[in-house]
Amino acid sequence: MGWLNRMTQFKAKAEQQESVGAGLFLYPVLMAADILLYQAALVPVGEDQSQHLELARDIAQRFNSTYGETFVVPETKLPMVGARVMGLDDPTVKMSKSAPGSMHAVALLDPPERIKKVIGRATTDTRPAVDFDDLGEGVTNLLNIFQAFSGWSDDQMRRHFTGMNYAGLKKNVTEMVVASLDPIQRRYREITADPSYLQKVLQEGAARVSPIANATVELVKRRAGLYA
């Protein structure tokens, strides 16, 4: 099913533009290679990538059963809320940074003014207020975004938002998103202000993980009989 889903996405992209890179179709295999190379045990992903993790697990299990225990079989970690965030202008499709339309998504580095504008134009539905017994896709998406950032329980969400009009809902979501992204944006500015620091972190990270990757490649070659 993962490959079928990826083929569907490939065709959908192809219909929207003249050419589509093969990387879109090959991505699940490349993702599996990255995971298995570093012997990752737990991988946090969004809902749309859970099938890719299943492919990585299948590859690890098949290799292990054929050549002996070699790879850690990774477990999938999905967030309780916000595992799939939908487009603000079209809540029937997954939010994507590559999707056309300026009102589709909020980027991590967007200023508060733009976040307010995009969320303010988000699709809701024809109902006058939030009704948890009959939520439209757009309203559900906005509530999920708020809950993912706030960590509120379902009961807290119901108590706070039931009966709230959509202007109030969008105001609440905007304030929560702006407040949650602020420390990320401040930290980003601190890091990018010193290119030498960023380079140092990259070098130190490479030094830590390279031995793991090299050991995995060596083990795979030996188990597969490439040194025979």
Q: How far is CA 41 from CA 37, 56, 165, in A?
A: 11, 11, 44
- Ramachandran angles phi, psi of 217, nearest 5°: -60, -45
Looking at every residue in the chain, the average pLDDT score rounds to: 90
Contact 41, 74 (CB under 8 A): yes
Tell me the pLDDT band of 4, cut-offs 50, 70 and 90.
very low
CA dihedral angle for residue 150, residue 135, residue 109, residue 178, rounded to 10 degrees: -50
* Helix/strand/coil for 221: helix
Tell me the pLDDT band of 176, cut-offs 50, 70 and 90.
very high
Tell me the catalytic residues.
13, 94, 97
Cα–Cα nearest to 43, from 71, 77, 72 = 77
* pLDDT tens digit sequence for 59-105: 999 999 999 999 999 999 988 898 899 999 999 999 987 777 789 99
**Measured in whole angstroms, how far is the alpha carbon of residue 38 from the centre of its chain?**
20
How far apart, in whole angstroms, are the C-alpha atoms of residue 75 and residue 56? Answer: 10
Does the pTM surpass 0.85? The reply is: no
Burial of 139 (0-12, 13-18, 19+ CB in 10 A): buried
Cα–Cα nearest to 218, from 28, 26, 39, 41 = 39
Q: What are the chain's domains? A: 2-78+202-223 (3.40.50.620), 112-192 (1.10.240.10)
* pLDDT tens digit sequence for 30-68: 889 999 999 999 999 888 888 889 999 999 999 999 999
Q: Which two tokens stand for residue 132?
A: 């948890």
Phi-psi map region of 101: left, alpha, beta (phi>0 left; psi -120 to 50 alpha): left
Phi-psi map region of 206: left, alpha, beta (phi>0 left; psi -120 to 50 alpha): alpha
Residue-level pLDDT at 12 = 57
Cα–Cα nearest to 38, from 14, 60, 15 = 60
